[in-house]
């Protein structure tokens, strides 16, 4: 899907914002899209490298069917090369090892597995769902027929054309807003900031339920100024009702010379988000923290008790606070 001829036997892939121009016999930056005799082929359709049952809170999504299970799948590959990637062994293998792993699980079988596991959604996650879009698209359309929701956990680097196609099946997305500086994206991820911001705004306008996540890395994307700018962008250009998850970093992959993010940094970032007017700002990767819970932005009543991915109580009724009756943004049962 989503490619065009670019002359001299080259093809331009319009799936993500790299818009790779791929020569005959070559692959895109993701390592999983091949130009063979003027046709662009996906090398990962049906090749699931991971398939697990997760709580929806692990995505993380706190306002989308809380307490439900999500059948979570991925293929090899990614269109970013984040030096701090938590899933680098599967995301970077096509590019670094010229290796595409996984076992064939066709869309219909994924649907069966999800139903058998009592999952209310299918999440396209762990690696970047944009690079296995055709697999997600075919699965998502079938899932809709069975009243199963579809979720993207993504870096947000898809093109507007891709998001238009995703509107046919996508119900929710968590987008990584990794930083609010273009230099971070270029140096640490191999991408750019602006396309991610545009994707975030477009997803919101499409009516797809949206939550954002920022992994705070010490001395890389945790300055007070940057956090203020990020919170202001979310509040003014995305929506104050957009949940923002601020997660604690732990050393991984090639960027392992940094220490884990101090808890006080996460708490300060949450304060900044709330001061900017955001209604739902969450602490991530710190179990038992009060910042994991959902509060009514009007009367401050605690609505959902969480500890990491576990919910002990959900007081939301018909999408509203039981005390002041304020509508709580989200997708509720």
Q: Are residues 21 and 138 in the same domain?
A: no
Residue 215's DSSP bridge partners are 247
Q: Are residues 59 and 96 in the same domain?
A: yes
Number of Cβ within 10 Å of residue 297's Cβ equals 19
Q: Are residues 63 and 145 in the same domain?
A: yes
Q: Are residues 103 and 136 in the same domain?
A: yes
In a domain, residue 256? The reply is yes
- pLDDT given at position 288: 87
- pLDDT given at position 86: 83
Q: Are residues 293 and 203 in the same domain?
A: yes
The span from the CA of 228 to the CA of 274, in Å, is: 10
In a domain, residue 30? The reply is yes
- pLDDT given at position 264: 95
Q: pLDDT category, 116, cuts 50, 70, 90?
A: very high
Task: Kindly state the greatest CA–CA separation across the chain.
Answer: 66
Residue span of the structural domain in which 33 resides = 3-42
- pLDDT given at position 270: 97
Alpha helices in the chain (DSSP H): 88-91, 93-96, 107-116, 133-145, 160-166, 182-184, 193-206, 224-233, 263-275
Distances in whole angstroms, Cα of residue 3 to Cα of each of 107, 120, 138, 226: 23, 33, 18, 36
In a domain, residue 324? The reply is no
The span from the CA of 56 to the CA of 272, in Å, is: 26
Number of Cβ within 10 Å of residue 262's Cβ equals 13
In a domain, residue 327? The reply is no
Q: Are residues 24 and 79 in the same domain?
A: no
Q: Are residues 21 and 85 in the same domain?
A: no
Q: Are residues 79 and 29 in the same domain?
A: no
- pLDDT given at position 88: 83
243, with CB counted inside 10 A (0-12, 13-18, 19+), is buried
* CB 307, CB 283: distance < 8 Å: no
In a domain, residue 330? The reply is no
* CB 75, CB 32: distance < 8 Å: yes
The span from the CA of 55 to the CA of 330, in Å, is: 17
- pLDDT given at position 95: 84
Q: Are residues 10 and 90 in the same domain?
A: no
The domain total for the chain is 2
Q: Are residues 18 and 120 in the same domain?
A: no
In a domain, residue 153? The reply is yes
Question: pLDDT > 70: what percent of the chain?
Answer: 98
pLDDT tens digits, one per residue of 21-62: 999 999 999 999 999 999 999 999 999 999 999 999 999 999
| Phi, psi dihedrals of residue 257, rounded to the nearest 5° | -95, 5
Q: pLDDT category, 145, cuts 50, 70, 90?
A: very high
Q: What is the CATH number of the domain that holds 306?
A: 3.20.20.70
pLDDT tens digits, one per residue of 212-271: 999 999 989 999 999 999 999 999 999 999 999 999 988 765 666 668 899 999 999 999
Q: Are residues 204 and 288 in the same domain?
A: yes
In a domain, residue 323? The reply is no
In a domain, residue 148? The reply is yes
Q: Are residues 154 and 69 in the same domain?
A: yes
């Amino acid at each position: 899907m989503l490619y065009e001829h670019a002359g001299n036997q080259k093809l331009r892939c319009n799936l993500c914002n790299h818009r790779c121009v791929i020569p005959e016999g070559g692959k895109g930056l993701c390592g999983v899209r091949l130009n063979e005799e003027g046709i662009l082929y996906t090398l990962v359709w049906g090749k699931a490298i991971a398939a697990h049952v997760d709580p929806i809170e692990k995505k993380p999504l706190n306002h989308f069917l809380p307490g439900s299970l999500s059948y979570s799948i991925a293929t090899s590959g990614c269109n970013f090369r984040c030096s701090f990637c938590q899933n680098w062994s599967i995301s970077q293998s096509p590019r670094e090892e010229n290796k595409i792993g996984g076992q064939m699980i066709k869309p219909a079988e994924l649907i069966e597995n999800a139903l058998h596991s009592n999952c209310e959604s299918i999440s396209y996650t762990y690696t970047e769902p944009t690079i296995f879009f055709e697999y997600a698209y075919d699965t998502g359309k079938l899932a809709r027929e069975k009243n199963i929701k579809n979720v993207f956990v993504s870096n947000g680097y898809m093109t507007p054309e891709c998001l238009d196609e995703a509107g046919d099946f996508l119900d929710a997305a968590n987008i990584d807003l990794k930083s609010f500086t273009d230099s971070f994206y270029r140096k640490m991820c191999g991408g750019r900031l602006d396309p991610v911001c545009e994707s975030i705004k477009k997803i919101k306008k499409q009516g797809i339920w949206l939550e954002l996540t920022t992994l705070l890395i010490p001395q890389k994307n945790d300055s007070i100024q940057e956090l203020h700018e990020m919170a202001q962008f979310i509040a003014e250009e995305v929506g104050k009702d957009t949940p923002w998850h601020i997660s604690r970093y732990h050393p991984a992959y090639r960027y392992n010379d940094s220490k884990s993010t101090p808890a006080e940094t996460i708490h300060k970032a949450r304060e900044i988000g709330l001061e900017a007017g955001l209604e739902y700002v969450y602490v991530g990767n710190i179990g038992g923290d009060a910042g994991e819970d959902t509060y009514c932005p009007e009367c401050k009543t605690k609505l959902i008790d969480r500890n990491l991915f576990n919910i002990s109580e959900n007081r939301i009724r018909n999408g509203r606070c039981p005390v002041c009756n304020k509508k709580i943004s989200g997708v509720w049962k």
